[in-house]
């Protein structure tokens, strides 16, 4: 692998990419450093907001809402169309910032930006499809129908691993639904957030939309808490850990707000005796090692039939040993760094727990480039054979660890898939149609995402994204996820000239 870039080279890349998107890093400079996981050195510094700034932002968004909610939805879609055009134009710049702040390899970072473009295209079409319905009334001369209306200010709290895409899922859909957005990005990736938001600000100015439709508040937990507790936030969409969701959900509910939670995942693939092992190996390695194991949909467990488990482990181990690990902006790299030292420590702690619980580390688990970058944490994706689903396997470790478990019957495999607190993504590799259908049936996978012959990560925006159980139950992106951003009204229209009551009730006056 090529040498890591210098700290000065990284700072120059960040400054130039941000500048082309409309962000002057000198103008946003403050006391809080932005560290690149590529070298563990600062890229820039930013000024954090306060809880009072959140209150101001929410109030400003509320003012914008009063104008935006009566703007026709297809007109609102034109703003999102322009945003998509600007995102496409600045795809390379945004991808550079994602790589520098998060450590994603170039193709994955560009893929995140493409996902933003895709959701904009989806939302533009959606702006002409916010359908209600007509319902048959039991009363003559009456029409019963449902209509959908803008909800209000949407608060978005996003995690570091998708520093822009999750915001775009919420924002593109919220805007066409008539809602402004106040965004609190991860404190680990503020430059990506500022760049994406600057492009939306430009689209707002060019289309004449209200200026308060999009706002970013930077900061730590206190800023996030202020957004969670703000009474003017109608919907709080939060992506992060299950631990965070346990706090956010009740606090939003206490003020009778809505919450949309995208939390932890402990995703598994079942590999059956009929599976194409070459196909399974490719799907497993990308899902488990991509983004250095730092996706919520990262594959963390493989449940392989006893007839194929040895051959599968051999194939995956060989692929792991050949993975190019290094600078994510260097050509050919497939695995970049972990986001910080705490992630590497959590990985090592989990591997030690796995050994104590009877596991065998077959491949990986070590650290690379420590001499060249002592403050950066490049980890070798680890493959671990386990005797069963022990405590450490049932916990989510946000790092590239893949546990392999054996099974004998499909019922046993599905039970193992479901026997974790999380319920985000799952998959099965099989050439048997009956096995695939049983996995997708009501008594099959209990996850929000269930795939056949692909891995657990890499969802398209056309389908609703989210999961069950400790994953939070939220749905974002495609399908009918738009309904979370609107309020439903049931309407009865009486054109009969009479006043018959429902259910045959008589009330003569």
pLDDT at 217: 98
Mark whether 277 and 411 lie in a shared domain. yes
Distance of alpha carbon 91 from alpha carbon 109, whole angstroms: 9
Tokens of 267: 């995703």
Residue 500 placed within a domain:
no
Domain total in the chain = 2
Residue 259 placed within a domain:
yes
Q: What is the CATH number of the domain that holds 415?
A: 3.40.309.10
Mark whether 250 and 287 lie in a shared domain. no
Mark whether 243 and 329 lie in a shared domain. no
Mark whether 179 and 230 lie in a shared domain. yes
Residue 497 placed within a domain:
no
Distance of alpha carbon 369 from alpha carbon 503, whole angstroms: 74
Residues recognised as catalytic = 262
Mark whether 240 and 352 lie in a shared domain. no
pLDDT at 2: 57
Residue 356 placed within a domain:
yes
Q: Which residue has the tokens 């703003």?
A: 79
> In this structure, are residues 48 and 218 in contact, taking their beta carbons and an 8 Å threshold?
yes
Mark whether 218 and 366 lie in a shared domain. no
What residue numbers bound the domain in which 297 lies?
267-461
Mark whether 198 and 291 lie in a shared domain. no
Mark whether 161 and 296 lie in a shared domain. no
Nearest to 274 by CA among 424, 418, 413, 450: 413
Residue 317 placed within a domain:
yes
Mark whether 241 and 330 lie in a shared domain. no
Q: What is the CATH number of the domain that holds 41?
A: 3.40.605.10
Mean pLDDT, 10 residues at a time, over the chain (509 residues)? 87 98 98 98 98 98 98 98 98 98 98 98 98 96 98 98 97 98 98 98 98 97 98 98 96 98 97 98 98 98 98 98 98 98 98 98 98 97 98 98 98 98 98 98 98 96 97 97 98 96 92
Q: Give the DSSP H or E segment for 237.
A: strand 233-239
Mark whether 299 and 256 lie in a shared domain. no
Tokens of 441: 């049936």
pLDDT at 509: 87
Mark whether 256 and 305 lie in a shared domain. no
Residues near 58 by Cβ (< 8 Å), separated by ≥ 6?
Answer: 153, 155, 182, 227, 230, 232, 233
CA distances from 51 to 101, 106, 160, 171 (A): 25, 35, 21, 22
Residues near 12 by Cβ (< 8 Å), separated by ≥ 6?
Answer: none
Residue 133 placed within a domain:
yes
Residue 495 placed within a domain:
no
Mark whether 141 and 192 lie in a shared domain. yes
Residue 76 placed within a domain:
yes
Distance of alpha carbon 147 from alpha carbon 253, whole angstroms: 24
Q: Give bridge partners of residue 268 from the DSSP assignment.
A: 301, 426
């Amino acid at each position: 692998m090529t040498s890591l870039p210098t700290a000065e080279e990284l700072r120059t890349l960040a400054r130039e990419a941000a500048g082309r998107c409309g962000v002057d890093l000198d103008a946003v400079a403050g006391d809080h450093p932005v560290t690149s996981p590529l070298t563990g050195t600062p890229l820039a510094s930013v000024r954090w907001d306060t809880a009072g700034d959140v209150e101001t932002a929410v109030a400003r968004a509320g003012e914008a809402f009063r104008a935006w909610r009566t703007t026709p939805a297809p007109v609102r879609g034109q703003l999102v169309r322009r945003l998509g055009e600007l995102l496409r134009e600045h795809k390379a710049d945004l991808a550079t910032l994602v790589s520098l702040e998060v450590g994603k390899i170039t193709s994955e970072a560009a893929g995140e930006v493409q996902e933003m473009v895709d959701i904009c295209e989806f939302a533009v079409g959606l702006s002409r499809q916010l359908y209600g319905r007509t319902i048959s009334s039991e009363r003559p001369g009456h029409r019963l129908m449902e209509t959908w209306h803008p909800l209000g200010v949407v608060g978005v709290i996003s995690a570091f691993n998708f520093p822009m895409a999750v915001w775009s899922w919420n924002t593109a859909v919220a805007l066409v639904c008539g809602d402004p957005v106040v965004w609190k990005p991860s404190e680990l990736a503020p430059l990506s957030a500022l760049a994406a938001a600057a492009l939306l600000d430009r689209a707002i100015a060019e289309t004449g939309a209200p200026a308060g439709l999009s706002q970013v508040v930077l900061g730590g937990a206190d800023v996030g808490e202020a957004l969670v507790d703000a009474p003017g936030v109608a919907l709080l969409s939060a992506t992060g850990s299950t631990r965070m969701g346990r706090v956010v959900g009740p606090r939003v509910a206490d003020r009778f707000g809505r919450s949309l939670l995208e939390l932890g995942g402990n995703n598994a693939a079942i590999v059956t005796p009929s599976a194409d092992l070459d196909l399974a190996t490719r799907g497993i390695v990308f899902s488990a090692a991509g983004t250095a194991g730092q996706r919520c949909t990262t594959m963390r467990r493989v449940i392989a039939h006893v007839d194929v488990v040895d051959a599968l482990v051999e194939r995956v181990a060989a692929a792991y040993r050949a993975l190019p690990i290094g600078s994510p902006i260097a050509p050919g790299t497939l695995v970049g760094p972990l986001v910080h030292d705490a992630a590497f420590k959590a990985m090592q702690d989990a591997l030690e727990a796995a050994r104590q619980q009877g596991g065998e580390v077959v491949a990986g688990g070590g650290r690379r480039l420590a001499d060249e970058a002592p403050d950066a944490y490049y980890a070798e994706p680890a493959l671990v054979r386990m005797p069963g689903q022990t405590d450490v396997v049932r916990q989510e470790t946000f790092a590239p660890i893949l546990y392999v478990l054996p099974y004998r019957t499909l019922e046993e495999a599905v039970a193992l898939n479901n026997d974790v607190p999380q319920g985000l993504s799952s998959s099965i590799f099989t050439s048997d149609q009956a096995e695939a259908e049983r996995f997708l049936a009501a008594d099959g996978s209990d996850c929000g995402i269930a795939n056949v012959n692909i891995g657990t990560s890499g969802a398209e925006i056309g389908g609703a994204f989210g999961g069950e159980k400790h994953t939070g139950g939220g749905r974002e992106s495609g399908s009918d996820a738009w309904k979370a951003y609107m309020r439903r009204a049931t309407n009865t229209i009486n054109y009969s000239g009479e006043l018959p009551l429902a259910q045959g009730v008589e009330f003569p006056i």
